[in-house]
Structure 1
Amino acid sequence: MKKFGSILLVALVLVASSFTTKNENVHEIEADIVDLAVSQDFLSTLVAAVKAGDLVDVLKSDGPFTVFAPTNEAFAKLPAGTVENLLKPENKDKLVAVLTYHVVAGKVLSSDLKDGMKATTVQGSEITITLKDGKAMVNNATVTAADVMADNGVVHVIDTVILPPM
């Protein structure tokens, strides 16, 4: 279970070196969003959560989707026991709510982001984008790698798990 507690905070250098670069801002890999995440060890907690939430087929569908993907380290920042509790079968609805709060329908590239922009997530609540000192933030999470292209959308790696209003 400890492996679940550390999934999504990775240095941009590590992320950039894991993908082929199409241009300086866009990374591309020939895979859907799930296969892309599976191919990156630093997203293993996210992958485990997506599997536990039965969201694999959804995120392998045509989309397009924009996924704000927290690293293993982002999950590790959550209070002790949070990830383990979310992965319990009786908490599946909460897990799905957290995961779908990280997904926006459509393909939103970093060049589309505007300061103060709001986007409705698949979960149904809004996230807020802010641009500060050349960095994009989603609620309280910083985008550490942007525009990782998948066959069915785009992934932006973030350093913090964002939680929907509950």
Structure 2
Amino acid sequence: MRNILLANILIAAGLTGCAPAATTASTDSEVAMSQMEAMAGQAAAEAEPDTTAIDYSRMFADAGNTAQYTLAELTAMDPNLSTFSTLLDQAELTDGLKTGKPLTLLAPTNQAFTNWPQDSLNNLMKPENKARLIKVLQAHMLTSEVLSASFKNTQRIETGGGEFITVSASDSTGIILGGATVVRADVKASNGVMHVVDRLVKPMDSTLPPR
């Protein structure tokens, strides 16, 4: 600070040519450090998880009768499910949610993905990891239509990927499927039913990264 003040005095006196070179170097270093700190602060802010509360009761409110839409259409319709919808497209699984026999889709919200390391999510989206991405997404699909009333405590259910998830159901905890809590149940679609969950579903003995 004293160097900067001295430089200002010299400039005011018309003696800038006499200013030591060390003063300029110090000033440049301070400016660079300030810029780096600002960039670090911005990066930290951008990395902060989105903790905005979701009004789950308002999801699909504009859709009217959700049963007129397919599971794929409902997933793409709500902005809270945009990450999940993008991953389904990336894995080329969207078409399978448009037709076929009734399915159950466990749809994680965007906030659910903040519990995952960002590098793990980015790696899953690489073309060479498509098979693993499909496996992750298949854990969020059941091969028949299962309404919330059918989930029983201590039950095991097979997923679309041939793995099993645990079920916990009680008045105190609600319905928990593979560690993910159902926050919006029984959204009817033309080809099945959707349950919105607050985390990614983790099958038993899964090798998915920790949350």
Equivalenced residue count is: 155
- Larger Cα-atom Rg: 2
Instruction: Name whichever structure is richer in strand by fraction.
Output: 1
Question: Aligned residue for 1:24?
Answer: none
- Note the aligned Cα RMSD (angstroms): 2.1
Question: Aligned residue for 1:136?
Answer: 175
The alpha-carbon distance between structure 1 residues 18 and 117, as it changes in their structure 2 partners (threshold 3 A), is: farther
Please tell me whether residue 92 in structure 1 is matched to residue 130 in structure 2: yes
Amino acid at match of 2:58: L
Of the candidates 85, 88, 91, which is equivalent to residue 53 of structure 1?
91
TM, length-normalised to structure 2: 0.68
| Rounded Cα–Cα distance in structure 1 between residues aligned with 2:157 and 2:55 | 25
After TM superposition, the runs of 4+ consecutive aligned structure 1 residues lying more than 6 A away are none
Please tell me whether residue 148 in structure 1 is matched to residue 187 in structure 2: yes
Whether contact under 8 Å (1:128, 1:139) holds in the other structure is yes
Which structure 1 residue ranges, 5 or more long, are not aligned? Answer: 22-27
Q: CA deviation at 1:18?
A: 5.0
| Rounded Cα–Cα distance in structure 2 between residues aligned with 1:129 and 1:89 | 32
Q: CA deviation at 1:16?
A: 6.5
Q: CA deviation at 1:134?
A: 5.3
Question: Aligned residue for 2:151?
Answer: 113
Amino acid at match of 1:137: I
Instruction: Name whichever structure is richer in helix by fraction.
Output: 2
TM, length-normalised to structure 1: 0.85
% of aligned pairs identical? 32
Whether contact under 8 Å (1:10, 1:71) holds in the other structure is no
Which structure 2 residue ranges, 5 or more long, are not aligned? Answer: 1-45
